[in-house]
Amino acid sequence: MNLKQQLAEEIAGFTRDPLGYCSFAFPWGEGDLSNSTGPYIWQSDVLRYITGHLQNPRTQYTPCLVSVSSGHGIRKSGFVGMISQWAMSTCEGCRVVITANSDPQLRTKTWPEVSKWFRLGSTKTGSRSKPNPLRSKTRNTSVLGAPTV
C-alpha cells in the first residue's frame, strides 16, 4: 500500500468524527498554525456535537442543525473551512453549500479563509489541493464539490 492509499484509509476512519479529523489533518503548532494547539473551544464543542449526532444510530441519518451566533473575529469562516474539508475528505459524493450575507463578503472573507484551510489540510495531495468554488444560479451561494480521496 502506498502512502496516498494509507492516508486515504486513515482519513476514511474519521467519517463520523470531525474533531478527530481536524486534530489529525491540520498541522497544529506549525507554520500558519504555530500559535494554535487545535480548534478553539467553541469549535471543538460544535465538532463534538456533530460527532455525537453522527455516531448516534437514532440521529445519524437525519440533518444535524447547528447555528453559531456571534460577533466578528471568532473564526467562523475558519470553522467552515475545517468542517468543509472534513466533509469533503471523508464523505463520498459530498457537496458543501456556503452562503454569506453578500457576494463581496463571500468573495473577500469567507472563500479566502475556506481556501486557507484546504491548503493546510493533509488531503492537499493531487487534485484536492484547493476547493473548487462554482457560482450557483442562486445569489450569494457557492457550492464546493470535489472527488473523494
Rg of the chain taking only CA atoms, in angstroms: 15
Q: Edge-to-edge strands of the sheet including 133-135?
A: 95-99, 141-145, 133-135
**Whole-number pLDDT of residue 82:** 95
Q: Could you read off the pLDDT tens digit of each residue along the chain, which spans 149 residues?
A: 788 888 888 888 999 999 999 999 999 999 999 999 999 999 999 999 999 999 999 999 999 998 888 878 778 889 999 999 999 999 888 888 898 889 999 999 999 999 999 999 876 543 333 333 332 233 222 233 333 22
pLDDT for position 43: 94
Q: According to the model, what pLDDT value does residue 69 have?
A: 81
Q: How far apart, in Å, are the Cα atoms of 39 and each of 47, 50, 58, 77? A: 9, 14, 27, 13
Task: State the pLDDT at residue 124.
Answer: 54
Please report the pLDDT score of residue 125 as a whole number. 40
What kind and span of H or E run contains 134? strand 133-135
DSSP structural state of residue 128: G
Whole-model pTM: value is 0.76
